[in-house]
Structures are given as C-alpha cells and as structure tokens.
Amino acid sequence: MAPSVLLPGGLLLLVGAQLLAARLEPYDLLYDSGVQAYYREDWPSVILSMEKALRNRELLRRHRITCRMQCADTSDYSAQPPGRGPLQDLSLFQRVLERAACVRGCERHNMGAPDTYFMASEELELEFRKRSPYNYLQVAYFKIHKLDKAVAAAHTFFIGNPDHMEMRQNLEYYKMMAGVSDSDFRDLEAKPHMHQFRLGVRYYTDEESATAITYFEKALEEYLVADVECRSLCDGPYDYDGYNFLDYSADLFQSITDHYVQVMSCRQGCVSELATQPGKDKPTDDFLASHFNYLQFAYYNTENYTQAIQCAKTYLLFHPNDEVMTQNLAYYSAVLGEDAAALIQPREDIQAYITRSLLEKELLYFAYDVFGIPFVDPDTWTPESVIPKRLKEKQKVERETAARISEEIGNLMKEIENLVEEKTKETFDLSNPVREGQRDTGPGVHDSEHESEVSLDPEAPEFRATVDSLIVAVNHALKVDDDSNSAPEHAVSFTRTKRSHKTFASHPDFLDIVRRHRERSDKCFTGGPVLFDEVSVVMTSKTLNGSQRVVTDGVISEDECRELLRLTNAAASAGDGYRGTTSPHTPNEKFHGVTVYKALKLGQEGKVPLRSAHLYYNVTEKVRRVVESYFRLDSPLYFSYSHLVCRTAIEEKQDDRQDLSHPVHVDNCILKAEAMMCVKEHPAYTFRDYSAILYLNGDFEGGHFYFTELDAKTITAEIKPQCGRMVGFSSGSENPHGVKAVTKGQRCAVALWFTLDPRHNERERIQADDLIKMLFGPEETNVFPGNESARKSETRDGVVTPPEPPTGPDSDPPKKGVLQPPLDSPKTKTEL
C-alpha cells in the first residue's frame, strides 16, 4: 500500500517545512550543565541552565499535549465502509496511520526533532517530579542576592518535599530577612485546579458561599482541562516493564491489546494524579465528587435551588446510595417544586466523564480477567456490576488463600516466638543473684528451688543488681521487634522467669523498695522543653511517684475547650471505637466519641463547623509535639489512635456505686494484677509507646485519673481533670492507670496513643493529614507553631546561636559527564 494513497498531501509539505524549525535543547543536558555549574559555584550559569531545563521540559509537555489533542480532533473513525472483511480493517488502519503521521509531523514542527529525541531517563524524571531543580535555584538566587526568586524556589521545593528539614530551616531564615514579603512564598508548580479548589474550601469555611461557588466552578473547569491533558500524555511509547524488549513476541492483536490496555490504565491513573497534593504519595478520595458536595450546599446557602439540585444529582451519579445527599435532593425539590426539579438533569460533562470512565473500567477488568493484565481501580464509586463475575470469584479465592497463608505464617511465627522466649528465659535467668554460701545477711526471701535467699536491703548491691537485671530483662523483651505484622510480639514477664523472681516480687516490702529504687533512677531524668510558652509543667515523674510521667497545664485555652466540647456534642456518636457499645467500661456511664478523620469529614460535608474539626486536628498535633519534646525522644512519634471522648454519668444508676469509670489497665500489655505482671501480647496494643490525655472540662463529679503500681490497688498519684490539663506517660507496665467513677455530669477529653514504629502509624491519621492538606494547604496545617527554635538552637554552653544563611545540596563534585541529582538529605548547615 503506497503511502501517497493513505496520507494527506499536506503532510508531505509539512515534512519539508519542519526541517526549518528550531530544535529545543534537551532538558536532561541542561540539568546536567546546571549541576556542573553548581559545583563550580558559577551561580549565573546554574540559574540559566536550571530555568531553561524547567522551561524546555514544560514546552515539550505542552507540545505533546497540543499535537495529540489536535490530531485526535481531526481523526474520524465513524466513517467505515459497509460489510466486514479486509476493507474495514484497511479503512480503520488508514485513519490510525493518518493520526500517527499527524502527531509525528506536529511534534517535529514544534520541537524541531522527533519526540524520541527528548526521552529522558526515569531517574531524571524522578528528580523533576521531586522538584530538585528548585533546590539548586534557591541557593543560586540567594548567592546573587535575588531574594524574591530564592524564596519562591525554596517554597516550591518545600511544598513538594515537606519532610526536608534543611529547606524548612532555610524558609525560617528567609522569613526573618528584610525585604522578604509573604507574597514571595509562592508555589511555582501549583496545579491550577487544586489551587482554585483550596480557595473554594477556604471561602466555604468562612461561610462566604457566593465567593466559594466561583472558585469551585473554576476548579471544576480547570480539573476537566487537566484531565484531558493528562490523558493525552498517556499516548506514549509502550513500557516493556516486565519484558525483555528482544524477547517480546506478541502477535499483532496481542501487542495492540497490551499497549492500549496500558494506555487506558494510565488514563485511569489520572484520577489519582489530579487528586494528589504535592509532597504526598496518596491521593484524596472522591476528589472530583467532593466538588459537587460543596457546591450543592453552597448553592443552597445562596438560595439557588436549581443549581443545588443539579449539583446534588451530579454527586449522586458517583454515589447513588448516599443517604444524606438523597435527603438534600428531596428537600431542594420540595422547595423548588417537584415538577420543576424533575426537569433538571445532572451536568452533561460529568455524565460523559462517568460513561467514558465506566467503559474503560469494563475493558480493563475484561483484560484483567482474560489476559491477566492487572488493574487497580483508583475510584471508590465504581459499581460492583462493572467487575466480571468470574474475576470477582477469582479475587475472593485469592483473598481467602492470602488469609490462610497469613494465618499459617502467624502460627509458624508463634512457634518461633515460643522458642525465642525459652531462649530468653535461659539468657536472663537471674534466679541466683546471691553468691553461693551467702546466708543470713539480713531480711530476705527464701527460694525453695535454689535454696538461696535474696536480700531485700535496697542498699545492698545484690538487690540493686537484681532489680536492674529484672528491668533490663523486661525492657529488652519489650523491645524485641517482629517483622511479621500477623504475628504477636515477644513478651517476657516475671512469671516467665525462674520461680525466685516470682517470690522476690511477691515479698510485702517489694513495691515500696522498688519505688524508692526507681525514684533514685528518676533523679537522672530531666524533662525537655514543652515548646510552647503557654504550656507549663505542673507535675513531674518525681511528684507523680513514678517514671516517664508528666502533667502540664495551659495546653489549650478556655475558648478552645468550649469549641471542642461543642464539636463533641455535634459529632460524637455513642459507642464510637467500641463497635457501638454505649457503655463499654461500666453500665453506669454512657460513652461517646469521635476520631479526628471522622470530625474532618463531617466538617467537609458541612455537618459540623470545619474550623472546629481543624482545631481538633491541630490540638492532637500540639500534644504529640509536647510529649515528643518533653520525654526527649530521639525518634519521632506517630499517632496510633486519637479519640475525642466523653463519659456521661447515668443519673439513676449512681446510688451506692462501687465500680470505676475505666478499670486500671496498661496501654500496651495485658495487666494481671494478682500476679504482679503485664503480658505484652495480643490482643494488647503492644506497639504503643506513649500515651496522653488532654482534658476539656472539670465541671463534673468524680472522674479523677490515677496511677497505680502493678497490683492495680496501690495508688501512686491522682490527677483532677480541668480544661487544658494534659497527662502524658509512657505506655508500658511502669504506668498502670485508671479513671474513677464519673458520678455526676459529663467528663470530656482528647485521648491519644503514640507509637515509635512508623509501620503502626494510624491509617485514619494519614487520611486526616491528606484531607487537611486538601482543605487548607501546607501553610495552614499547623496553627500552633510553638517556639521550637529555642530548643533547636541550643548549644552545649546554653547559648542560642543565630541562624545561618540557607544551604543547598552538599556533596562531593560529580564525575565529569555523569548526571548526579542532589542528595535527598544533604548535610545540615543550619539550626533554628
């Protein structure tokens, strides 16, 4: 088949004309030049090369989008000759070839070379996605005293890398410099649709519905444009991931299938890409649908019931069984009139979007079912009917198999654990701490098994050695880590050692002696700073007669307490966290609670004030920072669970009440008071390391918090709740605690549990972090900045040093001609 028969003649002229087009300079070479200039400290060349690399990369992206969209608009696949056979195939491929020639010619004309000429390595693409060029630019601009550009580059890099501590310090330095304004802190890579959406949420939160509508509508418009552009970029070369290029031997239709399924999967992935905040790996769920959730209520607030109905109906396209939206729609229809409401249809562009998306999902699931090409659906609203029945059954079998294998692995790990425990008992067998033959040296405990006595004189070296060894043994066991999520962690208790330790621990003077021994040890610990000027330490481990304990006041104000109490009354549900059991700890009180993520979702939906939910989020973060700093932890704390809870006394059940509001327990092990032991195993939350309770009120009777010894009876300290008071402590067996009965009124608090293990970072907290980023942006996520600079700037002599200028990537010069990105964690040169 001659090309002249198939290809339009105009394209032949275009081929000749494109030879005259200027060729873009590849951005990978420009980036390499910028890196080399950085190590030569040639700052103007760094700026020239990096800025041009960013500009050329964006130009290539725009050219690819433009060419593919233009050529798609000119392709007409509907005009097919009648009948079946080779003629139809030729007609189809004629249009395919015409479109390919159109794209090729357009790209050559605009770029000055074929698209493949500009292909960069995946490693370099990753550096641009991480915004690494801005890391170099902020240093170069600072060196030539262009502060506004340095600040913009630093801010842009930090938004994409929020955990980059050095850049955080650089930004703090910039904020203190003369000539730097708030407007300089701008994100040069901001996505227009995300920016408009966040502005809409901000005005919605401020109850400026008319202004919020403008931004939400603009965000939708920008989103659909970004979606089309993102999808067009998926029409690239086939990724032979998992294949050796030379070994790939698929036939015509199999190779077409492989490539087109990959393209469709990429297009579906645009949902996640457009809903992902910079610096985050996880997209926001239901991002597109949430626009219409906001809009329907905003239009209602402006009494535009026609648009409110349309937005509600559009939202129901995604979630047809949503009860709240169905109720809203019924209300709007009743106000406007049922007949008029029936004529209003969902938005056509969204109907087309959903129709196209569902068709792609059907094809992708078919390919998954028939060819085994995996597909991960990015949407939560996909109907079950889209997934083939056979595939659903196959996935069910796979889940059951995975569960069975997990159970078998768990049983195997349990057996291994038992063996490890036996070895641990042998290793830490301290059953004969007194030298053989040492008898009648004072008050002691007789051990029938080893025929020796253990001295209980706290000043005796053997006593201190025994107590210290026991503590070391237990602490060592508690720190033993298990890489298997399905297997319980190792545990060692007094009863699992030799019998002399049980006898030693059961002596009537043991508790008092160990307490005095622990008090001497606690004198070595001095609490760290509490970071915030308004927070004061009122009780320490010494005054609380224990270890790893603290009480602070002033964590939040009276107004903030009242706002959180109002949030509790509006958002908390009975039995939350206890599967709906309204009285989980005692039948004489009712329990209500709400998590951070649930409160934020309710705020997003307009059911509670969003500012109150935001305050709840920030308060939990403030408490985390106080606990982390005061206990001088070297590793960061992660949220294990957060709960705003209220315990309410049931009036008719308070006569002759003898029970507790919350029985004495330990947060990370199972307390067995009668045996003076705490077993660190399932179902205890063994991964919890620190705990905190922040009280919101004190206008109730009873409900005091108290610490005990391991016997759960000997009270060592008691704390009366009041607004802004926080109790923080380590979660282990050194801190058994309980709550006395609430006999009148309602006791409310924010209960928090933390872990040092990032694997147990609470999933809902990660979702809450993402939602906060979406609603407020990184610059608004923390309303309690604190005065951490005082802690970070301390020198050995206690003198606060001034911050140094911003620093950039710091590494040995790269080898000549070899691309090397900046280090992820360059050497820190600045302390604030």
Q: Report the C-alpha gap between 3 and 5 in whole angstroms.
A: 5
- How much is the pLDDT for 86? 73
Residue linked to tokens 């008029």: 340
Average pLDDT over residues 649-658: 82
Q: How confident is the model at residue 444 (pLDDT cuts 50, 70, 90)?
A: very low
- Alpha carbons 692 and 637: distance in angstroms, whole number: 12
Neighbouring residues of 179: CB distance < 8 A, sequence distance ≥ 6:
147
Mean pLDDT of the 176-180 span: 87
pLDDT over 70 (residue 559): yes
Tell me which residue of 297, 306, 292, 294 sits closest to 345, measured CA to CA. Answer: 306
* pLDDT higher than threshold 50 for residue 172: yes
CA-to-CA dists, residue 808 to 41, 48, 419, angstroms: 12, 17, 51
Instruction: Please say whether the beta carbons of 651 and 657 come within 8 A.
Output: no
* Confidence at 778, pLDDT banded by 50, 70, 90: low
- For residue range 14-38, what is the model confidence (pLDDT) as tens digits? 434 444 456 788 999 999 999 999 9
pLDDT at residue number 356: 95
Q: How many of the other CB atoms lie within 10 Å of CB of 474?
A: 23
- CA–CA separation, 583 and 499 (whole Å): 40
Average pLDDT over residues 577-597: 78
579 band by pLDDT with thresholds 50, 70 and 90: low
Higher pLDDT, 500 or 328: 328
pLDDT value, residue 294: 93
Residue 747: active-site member: yes
Collapsed DSSP state (helix, strand, coil) of residue 445: strand
Q: pTM of this prediction?
A: 0.52
SS3 content of the chain, % helix, strand, coil (to 5): 50, 10, 35
> What band does 552 get if pLDDT is binned at 50, 70 and 90?
very high
Q: Residue 751: what are its φ and ψ, rounded to 5°? A: -100, 130
Q: Are 807 and 139 in contact (CB under 8 A)?
A: yes
Taking all residues of the chain, what is their mean pLDDT, rounded to a whole number?
Answer: 78
Query: Higher pLDDT residue, 801 or 444?
Result: 444
Mean pLDDT lowest among 42-51, 419-428, 632-641: 419-428
Give 782: exposed, middle or buried? Use CB within 10 Å, 0-12, 13-18, 19+.
middle
More confident residue, 773 or 358: 358
What is the reported pLDDT for 411? 75
Q: Report the pLDDT value the prediction gives residue 189, as an integer from 0 to 100.
A: 92
Higher pLDDT: 121 or 220? It is 220
Choice among 83-87, 242-246, 751-755 with the minimum mean pLDDT: 242-246
Is the distance from CB of 351 to CB of 288 less than 8 angstroms? no
| Number of Cβ atoms within 10 Å of the Cβ of 516 | 10
- State mean pLDDT over 297-315: 94
pLDDT per residue as tens digits for the range 733-771: 999 999 999 989 999 999 999 999 888 888 888 888 888
Instruction: Determine what percent of the chain is predicted with pLDDT higher than 70.
Output: 74
CA gap 73, 201 in Å, rounded? 35
CB 599 within 8 A of CB 625: no
Q: Is the pLDDT of residue 430 over 70?
A: no
Q: How confident is the model at residue 782 (pLDDT cuts 50, 70, 90)?
A: low
pLDDT band at 95 (very low <50, low <70, confident <90, very high): confident
pLDDT at 688: 93
Q: d(Cα 269, Cα 258) in Å, to the nearest integer?
A: 17
Average pLDDT over residues 59-67: 92
Q: What is the mean pLDDT of residues 536-563?
A: 92
Buried-state track 678-697, b at ≥16 Cβ within 10 A, e below 16:
bbbeeebbbbbbbbbbbbbb
The region of weakest confidence among 157-171, 175-189, 240-254, 446-460 is 446-460
Each residue of 596-625: pLDDT tens digit? 988 998 888 888 888 889 999 999 999 999
How does pLDDT run across 393-407, given as a tens digit for each residue? 877 787 788 777 877
pLDDT in tens, 690-721: 999 999 999 999 999 999 999 888 999 999 99
Is the pLDDT score of 237 beyond 50? yes
Q: Where does residue 640 rank: exposed (0-12), middle (13-18), buried (19+ CB within 10 A)? A: buried
Helix (H) or strand (E) holding 343: none
Q: Which of 499, 747, 763, 796 is catalytic?
A: 747
Where b means 16+ CB within 10 Å and e means fewer, 707-723 reads bbbbebeebbbebebeb
Does the pLDDT value for residue 363 go beyond 80?
A: yes
Show the tokens assigned to 619.
């308060």
Overall average pLDDT of the 785-798 stretch: 42
DSSP 94-123: HHHHHHHHHHHHHHHHHHSS-GGGG---HH
